[in-house]
Amino acid sequence: MSMDKDISPSRDEVADPAVIAANAHAADQPDAQPATVSPPPVPQAAGSSRFHESARAQVQGTATYIDDMPELKGTLHAAPILSTVAHGQLLGVDTAAAMALPGVRGVILSQDIPGDRLLGNFSHDEPVFAQDTVQHIGQVIGVVVADTVMQARRAARQVQCHIEPLPAVLNVRDALAAQSYVLPPVFVQRGDADAALKSAQHTLHGTLEVGGQEHFYLEGQIAYVLPQEQNQWLVYSSTQHPGEVQHWVAHALGTDQHAVRVECRRMGGGFGGKETQAGHLAVWAAVAARKLGKPVKLRLDRDDDFLVTGKRHPFAYDYTVGFDDTGRITGLKLTMAVNCGFSADLSGPVADRAVFHVDNAYFLQDVAIASYRCKTHTQSNTAFRGFGGPQGMIVTEAIMGDIARQLGLDALDVRRRNLYGITERNVTHYQMTVEDNILEPLLLKLEQTSGYRLRKQAISAWNAASPVIQRGIALTPVKFGISFTATLFNQAGALVHVYTDGSCQVNHGGTEMGQGLNTKVAQIVADELGIAFEHVLATASDTSKIPNASATAASAGTDLNARAAQYAARNVRDNLAQFVAGLDNCGAGAVRFQGGEVTTPANRRPFTEVVKLAYANRIQLWSDGFYRTPKIHYDKTTLTGRPFFYFAYGAACTEVAIDTLTGESRVLKVDILHDVGNPINPAIDIGQIEGGFVQGMGWLTTEQLVWNEKGQLSTHAPSTYKIPTTGDIPAHFKIDLWLEPNREDNIFGSKAVGEPPLMLAISVFEAMRDAVAAARPCRRVQLDAPATAENVLRALGKLASVSQQPPPKKSDPRCAKLPTP
């Protein structure tokens, strides 16, 4: 097996050989779990469906988001000045008309930035404010600051920007043809795909286009910056990555990181859209606050949020697949053109994760993948739930459907035929052995509980008798790698404080965005101390409490932070155990913490009493904890190693109906079996599965981003951009958990659940293609995602051309052949 080339330099990889060596060494070491003297209590909170810690407050409207916070006297409001040209020379900015408006206090432009005018991320290719050139419609050129939000927004529209237009690249295939890249291409191969294709019994060529997705978090992007004494800064940011916001603000202000404190109590959703993008707002507000010496708040209006911030990466694919009579893949050549937008942002690791997930659940022996990270003059695309994984998997799932139709086989049988094995055919194309494979039994169980076989027959019979409505069904698996692919991010810290009344506060480097991280962490801490869940309070993320914390992303929030918090709580418990052992003249190992009590062979005391006594005896009642994921190591220079600690698995069986006259569709029935390991909070996990699936369903059916010929995103509000509503939830939506503990030593035996369920929605897309095939009996289905009514009609041959990508320069974008690896 050989791998060809290097994964592109991405913002979060450290290429230093010393670091690689240290990581490889660390991977040999057992996880540095602190030695404990007192036995762990039997879990009471973890494993049960506790309410989300904010649920009541959110329902009552008393949970605080940044825009709810009382404003400090003198607070000013900022609004962005947006480019109206996709690509051009910025010749000048005339602010006179804006400055003359009531309430306006100032206009902040690139020259007002005291520090670096490029953002302090690894690629260093993105200006804080557009300077000499503009690179997409909606790029921020500066901000207007005024007494009220409406004054600022009105004035921002009066700023005159003189822009000399330049040719713009708006289509990913045009970008590819022009070799317009934000990062160099990456080639991964194993075996000899060319030879395998030559000797294959069957081959197929195909293309696929898959659209992007707007995050549509309920709480839009916001930052509130308050100048403190002696050139220090307090930043409230709705961010998944307070540490990165701190770094960017310090960088732009030209100050030390220690002078910037970033706090985030919660987000009203992030979905990846606040992993980096939140930093921009904080920097813009900070530069304004610094120039004007006042607190400045910046909240984007929804339309501006659409126009300014990056989205899920759209992909275009070309593939040639070879397979045998049974449907088993024998060779695959795949080209992925990734639409990154105008700057690198997280595109390197997103495109990498797509490469890592092309296999999904399947063994690919002879495979060659080319990944082009294309630059277009559109918003800079960013993290979105799944982080490239969905875009990697969907093309392979489409290929499975194609093969089945070509051979006249059942698609589930073809999928089965290609699954990873247990002792052989079990090494991925990036050379990681799949050790925790549960695919076969999981698929078998869902096949039975969903009634797939009988329903398939019933659907065929129904379709044969139905003139207009046609149904389709698909059962697709998911295998998703858990860990940041950049090994260094897989670390976390936490602080546990026990107060003299026995109540406990936990703080960790993760952020709460609705996914229930704080709830799960509090459950783990409560159990570690043997106290009631209600006595543990998780507090706001704060860079002054936990430094250098990673983004809450890659679904690893609980894996990382709950473990760090568990270790911190364990230290406190050990302090108390040793103290009590001294009182009762026993070994610390004989001291038990359970049900709010501390027992020794001699005594039984309330936890609160022990805490008071310990305090009076000067025993430390708080501690830190630190966790680093074991076993993982990844050498990006040779593309070998183990980027993921473990895999999360799942499968979904989805039935849809399409109207062959209008192209409209409906998801009728969904059965899901998903692997969450031993769940810390089953109700929250099921909520994540429901939400992830529905979000994925939106991506693949109704959520269409349309840029016009000028490069303007014309779907920039809910009037034209359609996310799923309650009416779109399938009437039959059954979710079962696969309750086998994680085979790796992960917190509580659980598995990460934030992102993997989104990819279960690929079953919706495959069911749509099945329905199209029923309506138009032919072996090939050319349906692009999202499967909007127009795209369905086009797949049925009833609509000539609908473009979902920015309009191509050539007559038919599919005529432009992608270069193959």
Which residues make up the interface to ligand HPA (CB under 6 A)? 12, 275, 346, 349, 353, 383, 387, 484-486, 489, 551, 553-554
Scanning 451-556, the segments in alpha helix (DSSP H) are: 452-465, 517-529
236 binds ligand MOS (CB under 6 A): no
688 interacts with, out of ligand MOS, ligand MTE, ligand HPA, none, CB within 5 to 8 A per kind: ligand MTE
- Cβ-based nearer residue to ligand HPA, 481 or 698: 481
Which of 182, 210, 383, 705 forms a contact with ligand MOS (CB under 6 A)? Answer: 383
Q: Cβ 274 to ligand MTE, closest distance in Å?
A: 8
Q: Please name the residues in contact with 609: beta carbons below 8 A apart, sequence gap of 6 or more.
A: none
Q: Cβ 682 to ligand MTE, closest distance in Å?
A: 15
Q: Please name the residues in contact with 495: beta carbons below 8 A apart, sequence gap of 6 or more.
A: 505, 506, 507, 508, 545, 546, 568, 622, 623, 624, 625
What string of DSSP letters covers 38-85?
Answer: SPPPPPSSTTS-PPPTTHHHHHHT-S--GGGSPPPTT-EEEEEEE-SS
Tokens of 381: 């695309």
Give the full edge-to-edge strand order of the sheet including 329-339.
181-190, 367-374, 329-339, 315-323, 202-210
Q: Cβ 267 to ligand HPA, closest distance in Å?
A: 15
Which of 384, 480, 533, 721 forms a contact with ligand MOS (CB under 6 A)? Answer: 384
Select the span of 213-221, 379-387, 489-497, 627-635 touching ligand MOS (CB under 6 A).
379-387
Q: Cβ 365 to ligand MTE, closest distance in Å?
A: 31
- Cβ-based nearer residue to ligand MTE, 61 or 777: 61
Which of 536, 553, 632, 639 forms a contact with ligand MOS (CB under 6 A)? Answer: 553
What string of DSSP letters covers 398-412?
Answer: HHHHHHHHHHT--HH
Q: Cβ 401 to ligand MTE, closest distance in Å?
A: 27
CA dihedral 395, 396, 397, 399 (to 10 degrees): 90
Q: Cβ 557 to ligand MOS, closest distance in Å?
A: 9
How many positions of this chain bind ligand MOS (CB under 6 A)? 10
Q: Cβ 540 to ligand MTE, closest distance in Å?
A: 15
- Closest residue to ligand MTE: CB criterion: 557
558 interacts with, out of ligand HPA, ligand MOS, ligand MTE, none, CB within 5 to 8 A per kind: ligand MTE
Instruction: Give catalytic residue positions.
Output: 755
183 interacts with, out of ligand HPA, ligand MOS, ligand MTE, none, CB within 5 to 8 A per kind: none
611 binds ligand MOS (CB under 6 A): no
Which residues between 245 and 264 bind ligand MTE (CB under 6 A)? Answer: none
Asked whether 733 and 667 are in contact (CB, 8 A), the reply is no
Site string for ligand MTE, 409-438 (x = CB under 6 A): ------------------------------
In angstroms, the Cα distances linking 100 to 103, 124, 159, 288, 571 are 9, 36, 11, 18, 61
- What is the spatial distance between Cα 610 and Cα 767, in angstroms, rounded to a whole number? 60
- What is the spatial distance between Cα 722 and Cα 785, in angstroms, rounded to a whole number? 14
Residue 207 is which amino acid? T
Give the full edge-to-edge strand order of the sheet including 296-299.
104-108, 140-146, 76-82, 296-299, 222-228, 232-237, 260-264, 541-542
12 interacts with, out of ligand MOS, ligand MTE, ligand HPA, none, CB within 5 to 8 A per kind: ligand HPA
What string of DSSP letters covers 550-606?
Answer: PPS-TT-HHHHHHHHHHHHHHHHHHHHHHHHHHHHTS-GGG-EEETTEEE-SS-EEE
755 binds ligand MTE (CB under 6 A): yes
- What is the spatial distance between Cα 508 and Cα 271, in angstroms, rounded to a whole number? 20
- Cβ-based nearer residue to ligand MOS, 275 or 559: 275
Neighbours of 731 (CB within 10 A): 9
335 interacts with, out of ligand MOS, ligand MTE, ligand HPA, none, CB within 5 to 8 A per kind: none
349 interacts with, out of ligand HPA, ligand MOS, ligand MTE, none, CB within 5 to 8 A per kind: ligand HPA
How many positions of this chain bind ligand MTE (CB under 6 A)? 20
Q: Please name the residues in contact with 663: beta carbons below 8 A apart, sequence gap of 6 or more.
A: 788, 789, 790, 791, 792, 793, 796, 798, 799
Pairing relation of β-strands 367-374 and 329-339? parallel
- Closest residue to ligand MOS: CB criterion: 272
761 binds ligand MTE (CB under 6 A): no
**Residue 188 in 3-state DSSP?**
strand
Q: Cβ 516 to ligand MTE, closest distance in Å?
A: 7
515 interacts with, out of ligand HPA, ligand MTE, ligand MOS, none, CB within 5 to 8 A per kind: ligand MTE
Helices and strands of the chain, counted as H and E runs: 20, 29
Select the span of 78-86, 90-98, 301-309, 384-392 touching ligand MOS (CB under 6 A).
384-392
Which residues between 674 and 693 bind ligand MTE (CB under 6 A)? Answer: 688, 691
Which residues between 729 and 758 bind ligand MOS (CB under 6 A)? Answer: 755
Q: Cβ 753 to ligand MTE, closest distance in Å?
A: 6
* Residue at token pair 């994921």: 629
Which of 271, 342, 430, 634 forms a contact with ligand MTE (CB under 6 A)? Answer: 271
Asked whether 6 and 559 are in contact (CB, 8 A), the reply is no
Site string for ligand MTE, 537-576 (x = CB under 6 A): ---------------xxxxxxx------------------
* Residue at token pair 């900022």: 78
In angstroms, the Cα distances linking 312 to 351, 383, 522 are 11, 6, 32
Q: Cβ 631 to ligand HPA, closest distance in Å?
A: 16
Helices 389-407, 347-356: inter-axial angle, 10-degree rounding: 30
Neighbours of 132 (CB within 10 A): 9
514 interacts with, out of ligand MOS, ligand HPA, ligand MTE, none, CB within 5 to 8 A per kind: ligand MTE
In angstroms, the Cα distances linking 390 to 174, 355, 563, 765 are 23, 11, 28, 12
Which residues between 56 and 95 bind ligand MTE (CB under 6 A)? Answer: none
Task: Look up residue 12 and give its DSSP letter.
Answer: T
Q: Cβ 673 to ligand MOS, closest distance in Å?
A: 23
- Cβ-based nearer residue to ligand MTE, 386 or 806: 386
Scanning 183-241, the segments in alpha helix (DSSP H) are: 193-198
Which of 214, 263, 275, 318 forms a contact with ligand MOS (CB under 6 A)? Answer: 275
Select the span of 78-86, 371-379, 380-388, 468-476 touching ligand MOS (CB under 6 A).
380-388
Which residues between 438 and 497 bind ligand MTE (CB under 6 A)? Answer: none
Q: Cβ 481 to ligand HPA, closest distance in Å?
A: 8
- Cβ-based nearer residue to ligand MOS, 273 or 472: 273
- Cβ-based nearer residue to ligand MOS, 495 or 700: 700
- Cβ-based nearer residue to ligand MOS, 321 or 383: 383
Q: Please name the residues in contact with 367: beta carbons below 8 A apart, sequence gap of 6 or more.
A: 188, 189, 190, 191, 193, 331, 332, 333, 334, 358, 429
**Residue 110 in 3-state DSSP?**
helix
Which residues between 179 and 208 bind ligand MOS (CB under 6 A)? Answer: none
Asked whether 641 and 431 are in contact (CB, 8 A), the reply is yes
Q: Please name the residues in contact with 18: beta carbons below 8 A apart, sequence gap of 6 or more.
A: none
Q: Cβ 264 to ligand MTE, closest distance in Å?
A: 12
Which residues would be at the binding site for ligand MOS (CB under 6 A)? Answer: 240, 272, 275, 383-385, 387, 553-554, 755
Report the interface residues with ligand MTE, using CB under 6 A: 269-272, 385, 513-515, 517, 552-558, 688, 691, 754-755
